[in-house]
């Protein structure tokens, strides 16, 4: 069973996925797959270089931050990048999640149609200001950089309405854990 886990930037998707992992779920982080497909020799990297040039490659390394800064300032660039990367991310996700319960961390779950390849969806949310603060601390990026990424995500209230389950991660970790356990019990009961 594939469970898509989404939410706005730095809402706590990774934290929630780790909690599910401790209960026995597999976890796939699509951001990690996105990094993998940008490794030297991968078809994704070659396609991105064909589309955007190689000015983001320094001494063989891909400068993700500079590239993100460039891409997220232009809707067409974002669309071109998504057209290259999303089919590859979906392909590798499906290959890695054939049996068992997998939590798939997908920032753009509904925006990209990724919800069509999962069995259930979970939206993790926290207050926007809290998520922005977390993201700035975690990734050492500015509020403007975060806002540039958030503009490509559908509004949180709309995500909540689309989700099968919603987890409020704006309180204590204990409160988040309680919600995770409740959902896990539902998911595993349905498999019996």
Picking from 146, 126, 159, the residue whose alpha carbon sits closest to that of residue 15 is: 126
pLDDT band at 93; cut points 50, 70, 90: very high
pLDDT score recorded for residue 47: 95
Of residues 8 and 189, more confidence is placed in: 189
- Does the pLDDT of residue 192 top 60, yes or no? no
End-to-end CA separation in angstroms for the chain: 13
Q: Which domain holds residue 56?
A: 2-191
Kindly state the average pLDDT of the residues 41-48: 93
Phi, psi for residue 124 in degrees, rounded to 5: -100, 130
Residue 140 has pLDDT above 90, yes or no: no
Q: Is residue 106 a contact partner of residue 31, using CB atoms and an 8 Å limit?
A: no
Mean pLDDT of all residues in the chain? Answer: 89
Residue 96 is part of a domain; what is its CATH number? 3.40.50.300
How many Å apart are CA 84 and CA 127, to the nearest integer? 32
pLDDT of residue 174: 97
Matching residue, tokens 């069995």? 119
pLDDT tens digit sequence for 53-71? 989 988 888 888 889 889 9
Q: Where does the pLDDT of residue 186 fall: very low under 50, low under 70, confident under 90, or very high at 90 and above? A: very high
**Which element (helix H / strand E) includes 66?**
helix 64-71
Between CA 152 and CA 89 the distance in angstroms is 18
Mean pLDDT, residues 130-158:
78
Count of the separate structural domains present in the chain? 1
**Most confident of the following: 58-62, 87-91, 146-150:** 87-91
Residue 149's closest CA among 1, 11, 5, 3?
A: 11
Those residues whose C-beta lies under 8 Å from the C-beta of residue 7, and which sit 6 or more positions away, are: 13, 107, 123, 124, 125, 126, 131, 156, 159, 169
């Amino acid at each position: 069973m594939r469970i898509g886990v989404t939410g706005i930037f730095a809402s706590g998707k990774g934290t929630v996925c780790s909690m599910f992992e401790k209960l026995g779920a597999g976890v796939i982080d699509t951001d990690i797959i996105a990094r993998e497909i940008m490794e030297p020799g991968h078809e994704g990297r070659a396609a991105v270089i064909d589309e955007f040039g190689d000015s983001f490659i320094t001494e063989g390394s891909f400068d993700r931050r500079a590239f993100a800064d460039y891409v997220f300032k232009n809707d067409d660039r974002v669309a071109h990048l998504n057209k290259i990367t999303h089919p590859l991310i979906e392909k590798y996700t499906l290959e890695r999640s054939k049996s068992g319960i997998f939590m798939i961390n997908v920032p753009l779950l509904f925006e990209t149609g990724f919800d069509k390849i999962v069995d259930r969806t979970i939206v993790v949310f926290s207050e926007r200001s809290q998520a922005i603060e977390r993201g700035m601390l975690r990734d050492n990026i500015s509020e403007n950089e975060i806002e540039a990424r958030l503009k490509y995500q559908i509004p949180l209230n709309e995500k909540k309405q689309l989700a099968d389950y919603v987890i409020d991660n704006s309180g204590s970790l204990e409160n988040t854990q309680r919600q995770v356990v409740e959902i896990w019990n539902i998911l595993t009961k349905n498999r019996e």
